[in-house]
Chains A and B, each alone.
Chain A
């Protein structure tokens, strides 16, 4: 239950996944941060949710047995592309009136 042996390669992989997503996100002109107030913003940005998705997708693949730095970088790149072109279509913002 308690796993404290955290291989350095795993930590580096997660960091690289986020960095790859950020770099590709910048190239694709995804905003770095949502507009303020951020807690009500529906804008897809590099920090949220692209980085979070990159971490989650990397964790999924690692648990499925696909490990390594190249896998993490590819996941980061694909996550940025996914966030830019497909996320709004897959999970669109609501069309009804918004309260905030």
Chain B
């Protein structure tokens, strides 16, 4: 498969994987640590959505599905599929616990992306494309426009019934 097309598909799969799992696991509902709340409120102050801001803050403060997706992709590239993803899930879980996070989002993200990488390899998309894809996917959330991204994340949280009750 053409490398550019493979990367575009990987971006979409990585984006959906980590955004849906992180939202489902309640990242927009509440800050896991105080730093996440500071980021969430700062994003809201700049015109963003609080739930989306909390999502962005939680991603920064602990390894959630975004980190799980990236680490599993890198581990699958390094030591193979699915062993890399399984090892990554353990490492992400340890990182989560160290960052005051129960660890559900990170490990789930690592395991689901391992399944996705395994399935995608049948159509010629390998772990390397997923590493690039995840970096680009996280740039859309954290690297372009925080208020705009937070509004989108807030809408997704609202649809999934995970919007924050904080004001």
Contact = CB atoms under 8 A, between A and B. Distances in A.
B102 A59 contact: no
A2 B100 contact: no
Contacts of A62: 83
Contacts of B29: 100
Interface residues of B, number: 37
Contacts of B77: 1
B90 A57 contact: yes
Given A3-B80, A56-B90, A63-B87, A99 B104 contact: no
Contacts of A92: 97
Contact of B121 (A2, A40, A94, A99): A2
A59 B30 contact: no
A53 B93 contact: yes
Contact of A52 (B81, B89, B98, B105): B89
B107 interface: yes
Interface in B129-165: none
A94 B100 contact: yes
Interface string A55-72: 111111011000000000
A27 interface: no
Contact of B83 (A1, A41, A63): A63
Contact of B126 (A2, A59, A99): A2
A38 B93 contact: no
B109 interface: no
Given A4-B122, A39-B102, A55 B86 contact: yes
B26 A56 contact: no
Given A1-B126, A49-B103, A39 B26 contact: yes
B79 interface: yes
B30 A91 contact: no
Contacts of A60: 83, 87, 90
B53 interface: no
B52 interface: no
Contacts of A53: 90, 93
Contacts of B79: 63
Contacts of B91: 56
A39 B25 contact: yes
Of A39, A53, A60, A92, most B-chain CB atoms within 10 Å: A39
A41 B126 contact: no
B104 A56 contact: no
A42 interface: yes
B97 to A, nearest CB: 4
